[in-house]
Amino acid sequence: MKVDKPVALITGASRGIGRGVALELARTHQLVATYRDRKDAAESLAAATGASIFQCDIGVVADRANLLAFTKAKFGRLDLLVNNAGMAPRLRQDMLNATEESFDELINTNLKGPHFLTQAVAHWMLEQGSGRIAFVTSISAYTSSVNRADYCLSKAALSMSVALYAARLAEAGIKVFEIRPGIIRTDMISAVESVYEEKIANGLLPQRRMGETSDIAKAIRAIADGLLDYSTGQVINVDGGFHLRTL
């Protein structure tokens, strides 16, 4: 099948960061955009970008297999995978009281799903002889929040998944990157947005503003355009300087 544009697969693209990335990449790429629950939001994205939408629970092996089968049948190639799908805990709980059910759900969605989707995509890209992969993690990969330990653990492990795939695939010319967002204005933080805004105003971030989804999209754009191709395995902090240690 002849496709005039490169093809990008973005997981969790119907809302938040994923939607921002899709809106940016639609200028240059054919898109496959996944959603889990919000079909209305996914259909809105499709109308805005021309993306091919696909319902997928990234933590379910059959869904991942069906997603790749759909992408192969539709476009026959994959140039960029953006592992964005993820979730916060349904209930923030002190880690001394948090449940195994919440832990299992977050590990399944935030770690196992993208790790094994990348495994399958890596085989495909090895056959192609090229490709780029970006993981969207979080500052929670290294910042402890004792009321959502399960989330922090899932993101810390996902960060290692990036390093492992970058090392394994580098010789084949497949580049792998980690985008590490800070506090980004999405519906995931809507319940505590005012708290974050106050902390930012009081100096939490060197750059005194909350991040926007477009900030993440710009980092993905640099990856998609090959501007960072000699930087495989790089962690790109998009966090307003949160990672800086200052006295």
CA distance 58 to 60: 6
| Amino acid symbol at 3 | V
Q: Is residue 124 packed enough to be buried (19+ CB in 10 Å), middle (13-18) or exposed (0-12)?
A: middle
Residue 53 contacts residue 172 (beta carbons within 8 Å):
no
| Catalytically annotated residue among 35, 151, 165, 230 | 151
Q: In the chain, which residue ranges form alpha helices assigned H by DSSP?
A: 16-25, 39-49, 61-75, 100-107, 113-128, 149-169, 193-201, 213-224
DSSP state at residue 204: S
Mark whether 151 is an active-site residue: yes
Say which residues have a Cβ less than 8 Å from residue 70's Cβ, sequence separation at least 6.
32, 52, 54
* Positions marked catalytic: 151
